[in-house]
Structure 1
Amino acid sequence: MEREKYHRYMYSVAALWNWILAISFLVLPLMSMDYFTLFGLPIPNTLLWFDCFFGLVFAFGLGFYIISKSTKENHGLIQIAVFEKTWVFLMGLGFFLIGEASIWVIVVVVGDLIFGLLFLEDLIAIRKLK
């Protein structure tokens, strides 16, 4: 597959990944709060920070969609995307290691790490072309 086409596809898939996660985690608490326990998390007193986080996950999905339209013109967004995906992985791993998150959190954040590494590879390739 041509590199440019591959990267457009990759960022489109990343956008879908974020949107699916964000919408799922914004809607699930409306149906039942019990799913928190599946992830080894206590049921929060408020969903304020939870909803803010997943709202930002959705917004990052918009950023990935924008990148998918032109990977050559959005290097700043790609840099932020690498940081965001790495940060989410490190936070999930950290909370797992101290016993405050289940293995299911790791399953989700490993997906973010994979995207982060793919984004980093893209960024390095773009810089080599300059």
Structure 2
Amino acid sequence: MRIEIPAKKRLVHETRVPIRWGDMDAYRHVNNTIYFRFMEQARIEWISLLQQSTHTEDAGMLMVNGFCNFYQQLSYPGELIVKTYVGAIGRTSMDVYNAMFLTSAPEVKVAEGGATMVWVDLITDVATPWPEAILAGLR
């Protein structure tokens, strides 16, 4: 099943991520779990650029779901361009999407995916509204 990425989204960050030899599995291609690491790396870089913490003492940003559509096998050596987009921003959640391209063929999408991030009270384990500082950074 392929999950469709919505057309309505805003590009917020672009980074380059090297494909490491250790990212490959026994079949000599990048293991499917590593694509989620690529997306995580890009998402964390973007969040750090907002100069906002992803957590406080008693609350934090958690990923509640994630997906990836794989279009092309990858192998070492190589380098990816990972673009990060923000989709819908709700009261307690936001959709973040990523598109991945090889630097050697930047017009060919090799994978795309996303995650729903939620601000959660870590004591009660309940979703709570985004802090105003984070919302200001997103705007």
TM-score between both structures, scaled by the size of structure 1 = 0.26
Higher normalized strand content (fraction of residues) = 2
Between Structure 1 and Structure 2, the one with more helix by share is: 1
